[in-house]
Amino acid sequence: MSNTTPNSPNASAFFSINTELNVAICRQCERGVRKGNIFTHLASTNHRVSQTVARYIANCVQQWDHIEDQPNISDCYDFGQV
């Protein structure tokens, strides 16, 4: 991992994937986050990730194309913290 730089945050360090629910799971607060909410989630006061990093992570997660928006998963996770 000698070529890992602080300017290249690893999206998988922030989120894991729940393949059953097809959502990203925030490792810090263990909350299910849909792709469209990744940036907002990271940049919120919950985590205070810089906007630059939050945008990078959001872009990475959105390339995990096996995650899909599925409205019914809101029964299991709270997506309302915008």
* Residues at the contact surface with Zn ion, assessed by CB under 5 A: 26, 28-29
Q: What angle do CA 12, 17, 18 make, to 5 degrees?
A: 160
Of 10 and 28, CB closest to Zn ion: 28
C-beta of residue 26 within 8 angstroms of C-beta of residue 40 = no
Closest separation in Å from C-beta 42 to Zn ion: 7
Instruction: Name the closest residue to Zn ion (Cβ).
Output: 26
Report the amino acid identity of residue 40.
T
What distance in Å separates the CA atoms of residue 49 and residue 14, rounded to the nearest whole number? 10
For Zn ion, the closer CB: 8 or 28: 28
- Of the pair 16, 28, the CB lying nearest Zn ion is at 28
